[in-house]
Amino acid sequence: MGSEMCIRDRSIDMSVEGILKDNALIQLASAGGSMLISEYEMNIPGIGKFTGDFYFGSMEIGAEYNDAVTFSAEIQSSGEYTFTEAP
């Protein structure tokens, strides 16, 4: 396993794209109120993973793709997060 860094005094904003295999993010986006996901783990193949609380600032549903749906989103960290390098 790669090295792990805990980041406390910085924030990170990310634009992400992916494939939704279930409706969990759609339910979050349509529920109203805060789009904060606690203890979220975002894996980036070959790079590593971010773990922590993240806020989905916006989300857009795209086209169908192999029995799933594409999406894009803007994500911001909410407090402390951890980055673990890929092995």
Name the pTM for this structure.
0.70
What is the chain's pLDDT, residue by residue, as a tens digit (87 residues)? 567 777 777 888 989 888 888 877 777 777 766 788 889 898 888 999 999 999 888 888 888 888 888 989 888 998 889 999 998
Distance CA 24, CA 51 (A): 18
Identify whether the C-beta of residue 46 lies closer than 8 Å to the C-beta of residue 86.
yes
Which of 87, 78, 9 lies closest to 38 in space, CA to CA? 78
Please list, residue by residue across 44-57, b when 16 or more beta carbons sit within 10 angstroms of its beta carbon and e when fewer do.
eeeebbbbbebbbe
Could you state, in order of their start, the residue ranges of all structural domains in the chain?
Answer: 4-82
